[in-house]
Amino acid sequence: GWFHRLWAEQKKWLDKTVPESKAEWRIIVTHFPPYWGKKDWMELAPKHEIDAIITGHRHSQSMHCKDDMVAKIWGEDKDSTEMNDFLDPTAWIVSGGGGGITSEHIPDPAGNDDQYGFVDMTVTKKELTFEALSHKGMLRKTMVVKHSYSHGGINEVPGQSTTPKPETTTEAKKTTKKSTAKHSKRRHEEQIAA
């Protein structure tokens, strides 16, 4: 149907547009959380080095990044087996906002819950900071995302080298092996003569 055609067009657009990006961060904002279309997101996130996916749809806040505790996405569902780490190192955020009268659970009048609410995001060159605030303005969670992808060498990623490795051609390998073999043979002959 219409939605699947639109989604196919958007994936082609990502394939064309993202490789041209020179940005420090690659952030996608879309309606549905990435556990809808999970198979596609599990392919797209590493392919395009997506740092974060910000979504809505559910009127219940949730956020996950690679350093968080691994837990069930649907914690209230005893039969659920889906875990929140399926996109690591890509972070994902469900803002929980939205209008209407529906929510995942009954909101606490004092705001001590994750129903509705909103997310504040701070962007710097080195990190993204997300703060989940309840519908009464209470800070519910803070999540800090550091670079996991270099985006073609734009970002420094701890534990990853940004220096390209020198190429070794087959001819260079052959020459090195021949030189080493000649040197070893000569040294062996010198030891016998002594």
Residue 162 clears pLDDT 80, i.e. is over it: no
Q: What is the pLDDT of residue 99?
A: 61
Residue 127 to residue 129: CA distance in whole angstroms: 6
Q: What is the pLDDT of residue 169?
A: 47
Q: What is the pLDDT of residue 115?
A: 86
Please write the tens of the pLDDT for every residue from 15-25: 999 999 999 99
Please write the tens of the pLDDT for every residue from 111-121: 898 888 889 99
Residue 144 to residue 75: CA distance in whole angstroms: 22
Residue 177 to residue 42: CA distance in whole angstroms: 43
Q: What are the two backbone dihedrals, phi and then psi, of residue 144, each rounded to the nearest 5 degrees?
A: -110, 125
Q: What is the pLDDT of residue 96?
A: 83
Q: What is the pLDDT of residue 160?
A: 76
Q: What are the two backbone dihedrals, phi and then psi, of residue 20, each rounded to the nearest 5 degrees?
A: -80, -15
With a threshold of 0.85, does the pTM exceed it? no
Please write the tens of the pLDDT for every residue from 37-94: 999 999 999 999 999 999 988 888 899 999 899 999 888 788 889 999 999 999 999 9
Q: What is the pLDDT of residue 100?
A: 62
